[in-house]
Amino acid sequence: MDDPLNEQDTIQEFEAALLKQLSQEKYVFRLFVAGCSPKSLQAIENIKSICEKYLAGRYQLEVIDIYQQPILAKDGQIVAAPTLVKELPLPMRKLIGSFADADHVLVGLDLHIEKR
């Protein structure tokens, strides 16, 4: 006969292990901006702030100016700037905007992070 308490313990252990694994994942982002415009500078500041708050020591952020490196924007199918691309861990996600709303960024990029 199945023991419902034992099954619940197993589920909780699995969820705890999954949260631990997710909290150790490395994140790779590419932020596509259009020059040094105020929107671009604000997007860079916002993303750096979010990454430091929720992913400190576990992320890599590459900022790409689409005016300086248009081929990277074309290859990445970037149609607007600023655009943030989460390359790793999979699945890849893209988010466009100023990134001022941290909750929106976390959900939009499918980041499973406990808020501090």
Does 84 fall in a domain? yes
Does 48 fall in a domain? yes
Look at the chain and report how many structural domains it folds into: 1
- Per the structure, the complete domain to which residue 62 belongs is given by 26-108
Distance CA 85, CA 100 (A): 16
Does 21 fall in a domain? no
Q: Counting runs of H as helices and runs of E as strands, what totals does the chain give?
A: 4, 4
Distance CA 15, CA 84 (A): 29
Q: Which of 40, 50, 59, 45 is nearest to 105 (CA)?
A: 50
pTM for the whole structure: 0.77
Does 69 fall in a domain? yes
Strand blocks (E) in 14-98: 27-33, 59-65, 83-88, 93-96
Does 81 fall in a domain? yes
- What is the mean pLDDT for each group of 10 consecutive residues in the chain (116 residues)? 67 67 81 96 97 95 97 94 95 95 93 65
Does 6 fall in a domain? no
Does 12 fall in a domain? no
- The CATH number of whichever domain residue 44 belongs to comes to 3.40.30.10
Does 9 fall in a domain? no
Asked if 110 contacts 91 with a C-beta cutoff of 8 angstroms, the reply is yes
Q: What is the pLDDT of residue 10?
A: 82
